Amino acid sequence: MIRAILIALTIAGTAASAETLRLAATTSFNNSGLSDVLLPAIAQDTGLDVQLLVVGTGQAIRLGQSGDVDAILVHSKSAELAFVAAGYGSHRREIMYNDFVVIGPSGDPAQVRAATSAIEALQSIASAQATFVSRGDDSGTHRKEMALWTAADHEPADFAAWYREVGAGMGASLNSASAMNAYILADRASWLNFGNKGDLSLLFAGDPALFNQYSYLPVNPERHAHVKAQAAQALENWLVSPRAERIINGYEIGGEALFVFNARP
C-alpha cells in the first residue's frame, strides 16, 4: 500500500516539474521525424514540455472538441474551418506545408509514372484495378485521397476488392502497402522516413492538387476553461518564429527538404 502511494506521488511529481502542454498532432507529422527535432528546440527556447499525442486528424479534432488537449496540429482545411466556426478552436494559423506523393510497386502495372496529373494517376489505378491501400481512418491524408477520387469521378464505396481500407496511421498503412506491393497515397515526409519500403518506390509527385497545408489550432478557452491558453499561445508564437522557420525549412531526409514553412507573422 505504501509503495503504491510513493509511486503515485512520483508520477504526480514528475508531471508538475515543467510547464506541460498537450498537443494532438497527426501521424504524418510524427512519422516524418520532424517532431523529434522540433520538440527539444521548443523545450529549450520556451521551457514548454510538449506532450505529443499522435493520432489521425479525425481523432485530433475530437480531442480538441472535448478539451482533452490544449491545441491541435492537423492538415485538413475544411475540418479546421468547421472546428473554428463551431467555437471549438479560437483561430487557425497556417504553419507549413508538404506534399502528398503516389507510391507504388516499381513494376508500375497501372503506369502511374506516365500520368500528367494526380487525378489521372488515380484514374489509371482504378482502370487497372491495381491493388490500392487507403488510410481509411478519417485522417487528413484520407480526406485528401477521398477528395481526389471525387474529382476523378469515382466513388470509393463502389470499388471492388483491389481497394483496401486498412483504418490505420501512415506508417502502418505503408507497412501494409509494402506487404501487399500496392499503390498508396502518402505524404512525402512519412515516405522518406519510412523504414520498410520493400519493392515500393515514388511514382508520381508535383501536382499542386497534392498540396498539404499544416495548421495550428489552439483549443478555445471559452469552451474549455481548463486548457492552457497561455502556453498554447507561447507555442504558436514559437511555431511562426524565424527559429522555427530555420528548423522546418532545414529539415531533410537523404538530402531532400520535406516541409516548407509558410506561416505569416
Partner 1 sequence: MSEIWAGMAEAFLLIWSLDADLIDITLRSLQVSLSALVIASALALPLGTWLAIRRFRHRRLVIATMNALMGLPPVVVGLIVYLFLSRTGPFGVLGLLFTPAAMIIAQVIIITPLIASITHQAMRELWSDYHDLLISLNTTHGQRIATLIWDGRRALMTAALAGFGRAIGEVGAIMIVGGNIDHVTRVLTTAIALETGKGDFALALGLGFVLIALSLCVNLAIHTLSRTEREGRW
List interacting residues with partner 1 (CB under 8 A). 1, 3-4, 7-8, 10-12, 15, 22, 31, 51-55, 66-68, 168-169, 171-172, 174-175, 178, 193-197, 224, 226
Closest approach, Cβ 186 to partner 1, in A, equals 12
- Assess contact for 71 and 233: CB atoms under 8 A: no
Please give the Cα distance from 156 to 35 (Å, whole number): 32
Closest approach, Cβ 72 to partner 1, in A, equals 13
Nearer to partner 1, 66 or 150 (CB): 66
Nearer to partner 1, 194 or 261 (CB): 194
Closest approach, Cβ 238 to partner 1, in A, equals 19
Nearer to partner 1, 4 or 85 (CB): 4
Please give the Cα distance from 221 to 197 (Å, whole number): 43
Please report, as a single letter, which amino acid is at residue 164: R
Closest approach, Cβ 2 to partner 1, in A, equals 9
Nearer to partner 1, 194 or 214 (CB): 194
Please give the Cα distance from 200 to 126 (Å, whole number): 18
| DSSP conformation class of 220 | P
Residue 34 CB partners (closer than 8 Å, separation 6+):
189, 248, 251, 258, 259
Largest distance between two CA atoms of the chain: 68
Helix-then-strand count for the chain, H and E? 11, 12
Exposed (0-12), middle (13-18) or buried (19+): which is 262, by Cβ within 10 Å? middle
Closest approach, Cβ 94 to partner 1, in A, equals 25
Closest approach, Cβ 171 to partner 1, in A, equals 4
Please give the Cα distance from 126 to 179 (Å, whole number): 20
Helices (H), 67-159: 77-85, 118-128, 140-151
Nearer to partner 1, 65 or 98 (CB): 65
Nearer to partner 1, 226 or 264 (CB): 226
